[in-house]
Structures are given as structure tokens and as C-alpha cells.
Structure 1
Amino acid sequence: NKIGTYPLAVLAHHHQVPFYVAAPTSTIDPTIKNGSQIPIEERDPSEVTQMRGVRIAPEGVNVRNPAFDVTPAGLITAIVTEQGVLRPPLSEAIKNVLHD
């Protein structure tokens, strides 16, 4: 999951298309209650303000360059893991699979 998963999930939801996440259970942190608690790495702003070393954005422009986005659980149909398919309520499904 990098940048772009969240808008794809929003589009899938809008068009009533199921949205599945494929992830190993090792990437699931059961101590995090919601996406706002996930630390998001901020990458170097020059990655989006420059191209091949040439500045393409105006001087002084404020830039955020997050390495990841967060997809709300409400947009996810299920999470496919090596332990099986986890379906909502995801918090319960995650708890069950990680404690087996």
C-alpha cells in the first residue's frame, strides 16, 4: 500500500464495486484502533517539486509528500491474508485471526 489506495477504495465504493485488500497478517497492528493512529512517513518535498533536478513548483509553495495513505475500514469489503479472508467487522476478524 502506497499512495493511491484510498482514492481507489472511494471510487469502488461509489460505484458499488467490492474492494479487497491483500496483506499478510504480519502487517496488521491490532493495537491501532483507527487509521488516524498510523504514523505516516513524510518523504522529501523535492520529490514532487522538482523533476530531474529542475524546480517545477513555485518557490515557497507548501508541499506534503506522504509515503502512504490510509484506507478507512468502512471502504474495505474484506482483507485477504495467508490465514484466510477477514470480513467486517474487521476489528473482530483481526482479533480472531491474530489470537489463534
Structure 2
Amino acid sequence: MGLLDNLKARLEPAKGKVSDLAQQHGDKIDRGLDKMARTVDERTKGKYSDRIQTGTGKAKDAMDRLAHKEDKDDKGTEGGAAPGGTPGGTPPAGPPPAS
């Protein structure tokens, strides 16, 4: 067993706990992220507002993905099908749609 496999095996139980906490306290986490973003934006006098908003949005998206992890498969799609295709990501059978 390689180092990464060993780490993954040890971190697996923690993933479930973190996911549960993200589900239970998602609103508090969102408020904390917003408060942090406002504070940093004020202290930098708005110089990095666009970057702060981008980072805050990415953090919220990551938290949402973590909180709803069990609703999706490991490709990040619901129901096991790739977007616009069948499970496994193969394209749908038949001719392409006419435009």
C-alpha cells in the first residue's frame, strides 16, 4: 500500500464527520465566510475586492459540495450519469441533434 493510499484510508472517517458538520452548520459557516470577507476587504480598503469575492465564492461552493457529498457520485454528478451522457461519461447513442 502506497503512502497516498494509506493517507486516504486514515482520512476517510474524518471526511464523513466533516461532511456531517458542514450539513449541520452550513449557515453559520456561510455567515463566517461573509464576515471574514468584509473584514479583509475593509482592511485592504477595497483594493482586492474582486479577488476576495472570488475566493469567498469558491470557499462556499466547496463547503456546499462537502455538505451534499452523499447526494453525488465521485464525478460530482447526480445519479451517476455524466452531464449529457450515460453512466461512465459515454455519449448518448444515436445521431447528434439537428440544429
With normalisation by structure 1, the TM-score equals 0.25
**Whose helix fraction is larger, Structure 1's or Structure 2's?**
2
Larger relative contact order (Cα-Cα within 8 Å, sequence gap ≥ 6): 1
Bigger radius of gyration, 1 or 2?
2
